[in-house]
Structure 1
Amino acid sequence: MIDHVGLAAGDFAKSKAWYAAALAPIGYRVMMEFPAQQAGGQPTAPARPRPVWPVKGPDPLPGAILPNQRIVAYYGNPLSKRMGILGEVPPDEMLRRLDREVRAWARADPETPVVPALHLIAVVAQGSAGRDGMYRARMSDSLIERVYGWAQRHKAIMFLDVQVGKSTLQAELPRLVPFLVRPDVHLAIDPEFSMKRGGLPGKRIGTYDASDVNHAIDVLADLVEKHNLPPKVLVIHRFTRPMLTNANRIKLDPRVQVVIHMDGWGPPWMKKDSYQAYVYAEPVQFTGFKLFYRNDTKRGHPLMTPADILALFPKPVYIQYQ
């Protein structure tokens, strides 16, 4: 007798027929059947509608960067050589390398002007609790000003990236407002290090909900309105489905341009699959793609080229190098 055994099946009818035929010679037959919910499973999910790109969002306001330009950014923190190219090499060398990438993208897609950017992790998730138990470190104003100075001298824009740890966007964004009121400073938020469901940064992958993203949008939209600024860009990192829940509830606002940014590392096929599964499959507004100089290539795989990335659909308009 076989009793209380559960087997997941992609096609219930075919699986049932196969097991019935396979077990019939030894006298087994179906005695009872239960609905999926009662048996501890899930009902068959309805087929997802095919993603629609481009997204029918608000028309770009004057001064908007996207979608008619592409941002190419260098990511990291000057206090660490392990967090990205922004801090891995001396500033002058870093900026020369950024120039090379900008030129490569301009050659690959001459019809789309390239905007260089420095993407600073301004709130850094930590493995230890810190004095306030929030598992994050806020970078000093002087450090932010230093990187902003590099960006200004290089005619680049700047992103401030927030890894909240056990804190919240509500607690972290107000301190960054004096920088975000500048027309060339934009925002990024990283669900990987938002530990709202428990756990510690670096030990498990965190999450944001659409409500968190909408809060960030509201903050930026309010700044744009009050200070008569050009639209802000908001980047949201993503490389798993649970990192961003209820993406279809993100509310678009013409004052804030939202980029869902594929942040996973690995061989090209894996990165393409992640882009398809977590960015293409759940349209929000614009898309981004991240390249890791070290992690993408450490097992002998090639770093994806601009031509490789331009073959994706939709074409990413925010490119980040770490």
Structure 2
Amino acid sequence: MIDYQDFVARYYPSANNARQDDITRFLDNLVEIIGDTPLANALRNTQVLCSAFYLQKIGNNISRPHYQKIKEYLINLFDFVGVDATVPTREEVLASQETICYFRGINELLEFIDKVGSLALTNYNPTADLVRVKSICVLGWLGFTPDEIANIKVRDLSPIDISGYKVSNKNGTYEVYGQLFAALYYLSGLEEYNGLPSGRRVILKGNDEYLFRPTDANCEKLDGGQIIQIIKRFNHCIPRSIKTSIVFRNLHKNALFLEVYNDATDKSLINKIASIMGCTPNYAFNYRDQYLKFVEALESNKI
């Protein structure tokens, strides 16, 4: 569809290896977005052009230098293909981001993870292969920080009969049942799983006292940054056709937004947000627009 070597030779004859690799990433991303659509037609499609700026599935911002770089690539590509087209503005690109980063509930989030797993792996095992991702989401939903999650030990899961756990952090003690309990239960005894998207068998190592164990024998435990990386690696396995991703910092906010939505009192929206999210009324205004977008996605069945 696009002759990469000819394109680089014509427009970037002095490009070093790093620049050539960047151009290749841009073209690979564009080819994936276009699919079977004729190239000339695709380059006249504003949504396709906007998507070309996002080299990863999820991104909340496009910096001005990144915008200018991709804009240059597109202008040269228009010339290369002989197409009369217009590059969308940065504002149009930012407004085009369609990825949904909220969920109707925690059970729906866990079901979404299983859906991605079943698409990515032929023999997906929901009790092993993504229980680390599920458990991070369960704890993040409750309000645990990445560092708190990394520091949880198996003994910190206090059984409630045979159907639940109590788990605590500095903000309180929480009871989990159902799918939430199942995720933590299966993780507590996990020794190995099939990694996504390769299906390669991964063996857990490190200190088995910790709920989240590393895969490196020289590493005793994970840290908060590695907890976030588990979520990011999962996001890279989500097909582009699925406009949903998991953002760790949104998990607890998602849970609180649901509480606001279900609050049947006659308090004003700002007071509901302030009360449930534990912030001042002035700061609640910062959450209001995010909350209203969440409600729009919820009520239009986008989530």
Determine if the TM-score, normalized by the shorter chain, exceeds 0.5: no
Q: TM-score, normalised by structure 1?
A: 0.22
Structure with the higher fraction of residues in strand conformation:
1
